[in-house]
Amino acid sequence: MIKHESIETNAGLLIALTLIVISIGGLVEIVPLFFINDTVEKVEGVRPYSALELRGRDIYQREGCYLCHSQMVRPFRDEMLRYGHYSLAAESKYDHPFQWGSKRTGPDLARVGGKYSNEWHVAHLVRPTAVVPQSVMPNYPWLLETELNYSDVQDRMRALKMTGVPYSETQQEYEANVTTFGADIAGRLDILRAEETLMQQALTYNYDGQRARITEMDALIAYLQVLGTMVDFSRYDEGYFTQFR
């Protein structure tokens, strides 16, 4: 029998045995990936961002919101009671890069969509202490004043398309999207109509409260309001969780 001490005092043997253990662990994790087609389970309702939401997401990253906010509800009871159903892999499958994060100076935002009104978000982003007096979140007043630049939104969608996000450019791709997401959503995922649908969404919902202009605030709020709303969890176990709220 080999004593542990004899392994520890023999560098060659220790290295050899370490490599064997690591290889077994590696094989167990890697080999199954060759035999499955999809690592992310498909979930109904999950769709790519519209052009406006996508620009909002860009602003979210530009402003470094992820430095204080995570976007992943962990599968723990306390997190689910606070934020709602834990995050599913499918919910961030069109996010490149994902915004899971681990720093939570502020609350997790994975399910913030629909939690507040657009007016609340405008007031909060311009000056957080106006609505949450003890907040340490910075002010972002320029979002309301800066017109949204969306001249390159088609290129941004094309770049994401290369990573596998199903934005459509050909008639065939568009029709495939109609089948998967329905005509309404498919229209918003069409790259050639991106500017038109972006303006349409901004004018219809008027997120920033200024009808005449499309600002960066419009885009950011459109993005925040869609977070966590794509999957209808009430169809699964919402009743169960509400017992504890």
Q: Which is nearer to ligand HEC, 48 or 228 (CB)?
A: 228
Q: Which is nearer to ligand HEC, 131 or 176 (CB)?
A: 131
CA distances to 56, 93, 140, 197, 238 from 62, in Å: 10, 21, 12, 23, 34
Q: Which is nearer to ligand HEC, 39 or 134 (CB)?
A: 134
CA distances to 107, 128, 132, 138 from 135, in Å: 11, 6, 5, 8
How far is C-alpha 62 from the chain's CA centre? 15
Q: What are phi and psi of 163, to 5 degrees?
A: -85, 0
Q: Which is nearer to ligand HEC, 16 or 67 (CB)?
A: 67
How far is C-alpha 241 from the chain's CA centre? 23
Min dist. Cβ of residue 87 to ligand HEC (A)? 15
Chain residue whose CB lies nearest ligand HEC = 106
In three-state form (DSSP H/G/I as H, E/B as E, the rest C), the secondary structure along 101-146 is CCCCCCCCCCCCCCCCCHHHHHHHHHCHHHCCCCCCCCCCCHHHHC
What whole-number distance in Å separates Cα of residue 198 and Cα of residue 77? Answer: 38
Q: Which is nearer to ligand HEC, 63 or 169 (CB)?
A: 63
Min dist. Cβ of residue 54 to ligand HEC (A)? 15
Min dist. Cβ of residue 116 to ligand HEC (A)? 7
Binding site for ligand HEC (CB under 6 A): 60, 63-65, 67-69, 105-107, 109, 112, 115, 128, 132, 135-138, 140, 220, 224
Min dist. Cβ of residue 222 to ligand HEC (A)? 12
The one-letter amino acid code at 226 reads V
Min dist. Cβ of residue 238 to ligand HEC (A)? 18
Min dist. Cβ of residue 43 to ligand HEC (A)? 23
Q: Which is nearer to ligand HEC, 191 or 220 (CB)?
A: 220
Q: 96, 77, 75: which is closest to 87 by C-alpha?
A: 75
